[in-house]
A and B are shown apart, each in its own frame.
Chain A
Amino acid sequence: MTQQAAPAVATPPAPGSRQTDGRTVRRPLALRLLARPEVGVFLGAVAVFVFFLVMAPPMRDGGSMANILYQSSTIGIMALPVALLMIGGEFDLSAGVAVIASALTASMLSYQLTMNIWVGVLVALTVSLAIGLFNGWMLVKTGLPSFLITLGTFLILQGVNLAVTKLVTGNVATDDVSDMDGFAQAKAIFASSFEVGGVTVKITVVWWLVFAALATWVLLRTKYGNWIFAVGGNKESARAVGVPVTFTKISLFMLVGFGAWFVGMHQLFSFNTVQSGEGVGQELIFIAAAVIGGCLLTGGSGSAIGPVFGAFMFGMVQQGIVYAGWNPDWFKAFLGVMLLGAVLINLWVHRTATRR
């Protein structure tokens, strides 16, 4: 036995006695940068930007830039929580219609009961968080894939949005809320704009960047961020080492609910009415922005900065086609090509950069 035991004790010090383990060769800085999830999309965004600068001269104007940023921000604000949820290993297909559900709730509640608009806004927040809570709770309780559960929520909300709106207003759109108490106040927060050097910038752009900075900080510098990566990377390991998996998953769905509420309020206060049938298909745009932004579809990897560039690319394409004077019908086709291209570039960059 002594002979048998000897190797087990004698061999290990060999690798341990050196100061370095000698397994990791320091990769060049450029390659290490490329391995970061958000760098691929950054380069992609620059490419699209340059492309449209060349092809569409009106885009060089500051006003069009502000317009592009505004378009990007309405996608980007939702793409952030969707990206965090994706890093946490789940999807939310109900995110698009949840935006409209939130706007409808706020609009109809305060209009029908002729209350201060803030009552509607707060109830809408509660409803949005409750939708997220429901999604998360169902997921945790049943263990079904989030694709199925949120597909169910998506269909339910789509139907409820239309049916309840027709039931309450007799119309597919809600009534104009612009003359209600507190409207100006709420509009200032959700849908105002301000001047910077002669260019009108919408407030959502500011919110978008603030939320992105906040999400980045949370993701990389807090316990909660650590847990998001862990539940997306390996749920069972995370649970085994004491990460509150249930809390993390449910709160991520509620975060998407919060995003839906915010964007919903923006839509309500910039257009004064809400079309109950809208929002369908938006959820895929959010998911696409997150994926283009370098978030791993299967969870466990990604960033909050990536989806910012992802949404920015969407905004550029959407407006760039118009500025270039092309037929806007091509928008979706362009988007599809861009999505595939971005994913392929991400994949290639990631493989090249992480190969030893």
Chain B
Amino acid sequence: MTTDNTAAHGAAPKDTPTEGDRPVVELRGAGKSYGNIRALHGVDLAVHPSKVTCVLGDNGAGKSTLIKIISGLHQHTEGEFLVDGEPVRFATPREALGKGIATVYQDLATVPLMPVWRNFFLGSEMTKGPWPLRRLDIARMKRTADEELRNMGIVLDDLEQPIGTLSGGQRQCVAIARAVYFGARVLILDEPTAALGVKQSGVVLKYIAAARDRGLGVIFITHNPHHAYMVGDHFSVLRLGTLELSAARSEVTLEELTNHMAGGAELAALKHELSQVRGVDVEELPDAGDLAAPTAPAPAPASSEGKS
């Protein structure tokens, strides 16, 4: 993956923005309280172009709150939220979209009964003609949608079919292609692989890499450290609303990441039991890795421990 990564970056230098190292989106000590419940507290996060920032955490860790702040559905109640170095506070998702921050939600990505092309352009429809007769430019929209989907490697025979007839992974991919097309600079993916099979997850991860290679900053929310480690450049682990870990890829191994995910300290108490499990795991990994390692045998013990 690492070699793949650098190769891709070299292949698409024109997409790299000139802003240098400044993050597109940055959170500084950001937090959010709902009444007296502190859902998120003191979170630092930086999203750079052409980098995948993974936000990991178990259910209830504050992942959703975090993306809702960045995508404009909620407002932060403490700390700072900067876009291009400017402090912002979005009132609606439309404002966030205006700044180039697009969110692909796990289950909210599409309107199932509408055709693929209508979904692709929903909210940003192409039109032609002067006002009283201004109408949808259907031919152009279909053509563009088809082109864009093919550019992302998605081939669909019939763009008229309701998007609900596509598989979960394909729907996510259409949503990602859509965000990329509409000039998103930051793409937020809310657990895109959560409900998917192994192969489907692989497809989605490929499109995450494709979006990154086109110069987007990607925030990849997941509770699967294996998926995160396959595409991530930076990892932030949330736990009970605070940052448990924030590390670049070079500073952390998959093992450590899984540990943090599963809940560091609590895990240490179970170290004895886990080391036995882990011992089996590590030996098995290379063999199983050829086939379906990402989800199949490896995460099973770790994630089940983390959730219990």
Cross-interface CB contact of A233 among B112, B125, B205, B294, cutoff 8 Å: B112
A153-161, A223-231, A252-260, A338-346: which one contacts chain B? A223-231
Closest to B94 in A: A242
Residue A114 lies at the interface, judged by CB distance under 8 Å to chain B: no
Closest to B286 in A: A3
A20→B150 CA distance, assembly (Å): 11
Cross-interface CB contact of A1 among B93, B109, B229, cutoff 8 Å: B229
Given contacts A221-B136, A240-B105, contact A229 B118 (CB under 8 A): yes
The reply to whether B4 and A223 form a contact with Cβ atoms under 8 Å apart is no
Cross-interface CB contact of B153 among A13, A221, A241, cutoff 8 Å: A13
Q: How far is the CB of A26 from chain B (nearest CB, A)?
A: 8
Residue B269 lies at the interface, judged by CB distance under 8 Å to chain A: no
Q: How far is the CB of A296 from chain B (nearest CB, A)?
A: 8
Given contacts A24-B161, A230-B111, contact A18 B155 (CB under 8 A): yes
The reply to whether A7 and B113 form a contact with Cβ atoms under 8 Å apart is no
Closest to B179 in A: A241
Given contacts A223-B127, A241-B122, A243-B123, contact A12 B114 (CB under 8 A): no
Residue B254 lies at the interface, judged by CB distance under 8 Å to chain A: yes
Determine chain A's interface SS by DSSP, over half rule.
helix
Cross-interface CB contact of B125 among A7, A18, A223, cutoff 8 Å: A223
A238→B4 CA distance, assembly (Å): 36
Provide the B146-163 mask, 1 if CB < 8 A to any CB of A, else 0.
Answer: 000000011111100100
Closest to A234 in B: B111
Cross-interface CB contact of B293 among A4, A237, A301, cutoff 8 Å: A4
Q: How far is the CB of A350 from chain B (nearest CB, A)?
A: 12
Given contacts A21-B157, A222-B136, A226-B118, contact A4 B113 (CB under 8 A): no
Cross-interface CB contact of A300 among B103, B113, B125, cutoff 8 Å: B113
Residue B134 lies at the interface, judged by CB distance under 8 Å to chain A: yes
A2→B93 CA distance, assembly (Å): 37
Residue A15 lies at the interface, judged by CB distance under 8 Å to chain B: yes
Beta-carbon contacts under 8 Å, A5-26 to B:
5-9, 11-13, 15-16, 18-24
Beta-carbon contacts under 8 Å, B56-98 to A:
71, 73, 93-94, 97
Residue B194 lies at the interface, judged by CB distance under 8 Å to chain A: no
Given contacts A8-B202, A20-B155, A237-B110, contact A226 B125 (CB under 8 A): yes
Residue A181 lies at the interface, judged by CB distance under 8 Å to chain B: no
Tell me how many residues of A have a C-beta within 8 Å of chain B.
42
The reply to whether B157 and A24 form a contact with Cβ atoms under 8 Å apart is yes
- On chain B, the residues within 8 Å of A12 by CB distance are 153, 202-203, 206
- On chain A, the residues within 8 Å of B202 by CB distance are 7-9, 11-12
Q: How far is the CB of B97 from chain A (nearest CB, A)?
A: 5
- On chain B, the residues within 8 Å of A22 by CB distance are 157
Closest to A242 in B: B123
Q: How far is the CB of A244 from chain B (nearest CB, A)?
A: 8
The reply to whether A7 and B118 form a contact with Cβ atoms under 8 Å apart is no
Output the residue of A5, A222, A300 with the most chain B CB within 10 A: A5
Given contacts A234-B112, A236-B108, contact A11 B291 (CB under 8 A): no
Residue A166 lies at the interface, judged by CB distance under 8 Å to chain B: no
- On chain A, the residues within 8 Å of B1 by CB distance are 1-2, 4-5, 9
A16→B202 CA distance, assembly (Å): 13
The reply to whether A21 and B118 form a contact with Cβ atoms under 8 Å apart is no
Residue A239 lies at the interface, judged by CB distance under 8 Å to chain B: yes
The reply to whether A240 and B157 form a contact with Cβ atoms under 8 Å apart is no
- On chain A, the residues within 8 Å of B294 by CB distance are 4, 7-8
Given contacts A2-B1, A16-B155, A240-B108, contact A7 B122 (CB under 8 A): no
- On chain A, the residues within 8 Å of B125 by CB distance are 223, 226
Output the residue of A7, A21, A229, A238 with the most chain B CB within 10 A: A7
Residue B289 lies at the interface, judged by CB distance under 8 Å to chain A: yes
The reply to whether B111 and A238 form a contact with Cβ atoms under 8 Å apart is yes
What 6 additional pairs, Cβ within 8 angstroms, besides A1-B229, A222-B127? A7-B202, A12-B203, A223-B127, A230-B123, A233-B112, A296-B113
User: Which residues of A come within 8 Å of B, CB atoms?
Assistant: 1-9, 11-13, 15-16, 18-24, 217, 221-223, 225-226, 229-230, 233-234, 236-243, 296, 300-301
9 contacts between A and B (CB under 8 A): A9-B209, A12-B203, A221-B136, A223-B136, A230-B114, A237-B109, A239-B93, A241-B93, A242-B93
